[in-house]
Amino acid sequence: AQSVTQLGSHVSVSEGALVLLRCNYSSSVPPYLFWYVQYPNQGLQLLLKYTSAATLVKGINGFEAEFKKSETSFHLTKPSAHMSDAAEYFCAVSDLGGGSNYKLTFGKGTLLTVNP
Amino acid sequence: KAGVTQTPRYLIKTRGQQVTLSCSPISGHRSVSWYQQTPGQGLQFLFEYFSETQRNKGNFPGRFSGRQFSNSRSEMNVSTLELGDSALYLCASSLSPGLAGGGRGANEQFFGPGTRLTVL
């Protein structure tokens, strides 16, 4: 079974500082990896996804992530944090299960706080 | 194009009751998945439907069930509610799987705003 570990349930940064949210995955086959963001009282919105093309993936709102197979990591970064980035972030791996079954396995999430 | 819609947005029930939640996917999307989100367990996969057939099921008791209609709309039902069923229930839709295996796994899932269920 595939799994995702997000290091740090809460990350706090100052506005304008680098954002780094860590995600490590476990998978026996090449995975598809996703980062989602959830604002209070809302559903999840896709930030970016890795589907075995370029290892550096650019997403919305200035976020990007780099797939590193040797480290089984898919960390999310943003050069300069904005107050509007405050939200909870989830890393997920797609699980093909048996046959053509499909589901997402999520990490526990990282709450990002941005201080003025 | 309208996004995924879920109704109702908020629901309060008492233990022992049953509840039905509804999800309308994005037009053209034929796959619908359901997830439960709680502070303790995080986001957990419930089940996925495609073409009115359940294709995958998570590790939840039989009290949790679902179905999908010919127009791809989906409902999930929870019977004999327990306090621990209090959660945000999220529905997600994605394009129909055009390719077997990996191609389908790359499909993005679009999430609705969720239904907040409180069991008293």
What is the pLDDT, as a whole number, of residue A32?
Answer: 84
Q: Which of A43, A92, A94 sits opposite B113 (nearest CB)?
A: A43
Instruction: Please enumerate in sequence order all residues whose Cβ is within 8 A of that of B99, keeping only pairs 6 or more positions apart, or say none.
Output: none
Percent of chain B at pLDDT > 90 equals 74
Contact A102 B104 (CB under 8 A): yes
Cβ(A41)–Cβ(A88) under 8 Å?
no
pLDDT, averaged across chain A: 89
Residue B8 clears pLDDT 90, i.e. is over it: yes
Closest CA to A39 of A93, A115, A112: A112
Quick one: what percent of chain A has pLDDT higher than 70?
91
Which range is least confidently modeled, A23-27, A84-88, B97-101? B97-101
Residues B56 and B82: beta-carbon distance below 8 Å: no
Interchain pair A49, B108: CB under 8 A: yes
Q: What is the dihedral of CA A50, A56, A58, A59, to 10 degrees?
A: 40
Residues of B with CB under 8 A from a CB of A: 4, 31, 33, 35, 42-45, 48, 55-56, 58, 90, 92, 97, 100-102, 104-114
Lowest mean pLDDT among A62-76, A97-111, B8-22, B45-59: A97-111
pLDDT mean over A5-26: 96
